[in-house]
Amino acid sequence: MREQYDLYIFDRIEHYKNSISRDELMRLADEAMSDPGDDSENQYLLTELLVAAVVDDLIKRRLGIPRFESWRKSYPKRRASQREPAKWGLDPSHLVSGLSPRVEAGDAVLVVGSGAESCAYLLAAHDAEVTFLDHDINVVNRAENRISVESLSSTFEGMYVQFGEWVPVLSAEFVLVVIDAGTLAGLTPGQRRVLLTELQHFTAPGGLHALVPDALGTGPEGFAGHYAAWERETLPSPGRRLRGVPARGALFVKPAVVDAQRRDVRA
């Protein structure tokens, strides 16, 4: 937990630095230089590294970051709250709300598209190792900042990509891939085919692809043809479903035995 706390502090400070102008950052440095502390010897030892440390302390005070003991004591209650779908604006009937209890700590999970952003938060709260991809750098930055504030950075990584044209090489074999149907709908057929083939390649045998509707209700049925060789799994029981909530999505299972030769979809 100490490592997680240290990462929480680091992320909060770095996001704050990135959110202010260079002039404001230089003013903080000037404040650090002008207030070296009670020990007069500090003025002779205040190297660039020490100035950076003092600036970080000033930012910690400005952000009101709690001390480790206070943070540690509040952690269990905060984490329990984070594992409630409603915390992230998800209905209990949402497909990923039903899948999240099946996720084990350390499971590699991939979340694709801004319409599935809340799913990334929920899965990170269940201690999955979440990688979040989107084509909008502002969405990625927003997600990283929210994750930082919620002390979930140790289980989250955001990446900016060009869907259908470039996806980074991902070393993990993902047990769950959550895909925003609205993001797929915004691509050309060729881009969509390239992206889904890449995502299927990164998925572990027996892994799941959950295609979820976006806020506009864009459903997954138009993309089911890309999963002709996969099994479609019956969705988990939704429990109570609120009136007006769109279709829940679709769940596909990758075959346990797959062709070892990767098809070149760009040919």
Map the chain to HEC letters.
CHHHHHHHHHHHHHHHHHHCCHHHHHHHHHHHHHCCCCCCCHHHHCCHHHHHHHHHHHHHHHHCCCCHHHHHHHHHHHHHHHCCHHHHCCCCCCHHHHHHHHCCCCCEEEEECHHHHHHHHHHHHCCCEEEEEECCHHHHHHHHHHHHHCCCHHHEEEEECECCCECCCCCCCEEEEEEEHHHHHCCCHHHHHHHHHHHHHCEEEEEEEEEECCCCCCCCHHHHHHHCCCEECCCCCCCCCCCCCCCCCEEEECCCCCCCCCCCCCC
Q: Could you give the C-alpha distances from 203 to 43, 75, 230, in angstroms and in order?
A: 56, 32, 12
Contact 205, 255 (CB under 8 A): yes
Least confident of 31-40, 126-135, 147-156, 239-248: 239-248
258 — pLDDT class (breaks 50, 70, 90): low
Q: Could you give the C-alpha distances from 130 to 117, 123, 178, in angstroms and in order?
A: 11, 7, 10
Amino acid 114: pLDDT: 94
Class at the top of the CATH hierarchy for domain 90-253 = alpha beta
Neighbours of 217 (CB within 10 A): 12
Least confident of 45-49, 99-103, 147-151, 223-227: 45-49
Average pLDDT over residues 18-31: 79
Q: Which pTM value belongs to this model?
A: 0.76
266 — pLDDT class (breaks 50, 70, 90): very low
pLDDT at residue 129 tops 60: yes
Question: Which of 70-84, 172-186, 228-242, 253-267 tops mean pLDDT?
Answer: 172-186
Average pLDDT over residues 26-47: 62
Amino acid 261: pLDDT: 42
Average pLDDT in the chain: 83
Contact 201, 171 (CB under 8 A): no
237 — pLDDT class (breaks 50, 70, 90): low
Amino acid 250: pLDDT: 92
- Where, residue-wise, is CATH 3.40.50.150 in the chain? 90-253
Least confident of 193-202, 207-216, 229-238: 229-238
pLDDT > 70 in the chain, percent: 85
Residue type, 207: G
CA distance 26 to 40: 23
Better-scored residue on pLDDT, 140 or 59: 140
